[in-house]
Structure 1
Amino acid sequence: MPIIQVQMLKGRSPELKKQLISEITDTISRTLGSPPEAVRVILTEVPEENWGVGGVPINEKN
């Protein structure tokens, strides 16, 4: 059973997350030959103040 974890910044719509889960599932199923019902996708949304780039929280970058 493949488990795919995606970490992304918070703020995307439920519709977009649904599409992402669907497309990841389709790709994994096709590539690995796993049935779609065996694929697990975990989306973890991270607030901007908890995501750093170059030593600075992304919400403080210009």
Structure 2
Amino acid sequence: MPLVEVTLVEGRSPEAVRTLIDRLHHAVVESVGANPANVRVIVREVPAAHWAAGNETLAERAGSKSDEKRR
């Protein structure tokens, strides 16, 4: 039973997430010959304030870019 887990920063539309699920599902079925009924896809959406890179959250990074544009 294949399981695909994806973590994204929140903010995408339900339609975009649904498209991602559909495409991942089909990719697994086609690439490994899995039974479609057995493919599991989990999408986790994380707030930008809970995702960091280089000791800076994505929310902080976005705020810094907004501040730079105002200068």
Q: Which category describes the TM-score, using the shorter chain as reference length?
A: over 0.9
For 1:21, what is the secondary structure of its paired residue? helix
Distance in 1 of aligned mates of 2:22 and 2:11 = 18
Q: What's the CA shift string for 1:17-59, capped at 9, x where partnerless?
A: 1100000000000001002111000000000000001111111
Q: Which protein shows a greater Rg?
A: 2
Structure 1 residue runs of 5 or longer lacking an equivalent are none
Give the aligned length: 62
* Matched-pair identity in %: 35
Alignment of 1:19-30 (within 5 A): 19-30=19-30
Tell me the equivalent position of 1:14.
Answer: 14
Tell me the equivalent position of 1:45.
Answer: 45
More contact order relative to length (CA 8 Å, sep ≥ 6):
1
Tell me the equivalent position of 1:4.
Answer: 4
Structure 2 letter corresponding to 1:44: R
Q: Which has the higher helix share?
A: 2
Structure 2 residue runs of 5 or longer lacking an equivalent are 66-71
Structure 1 letter corresponding to 2:54: G
Structure 2 letter corresponding to 1:31: S
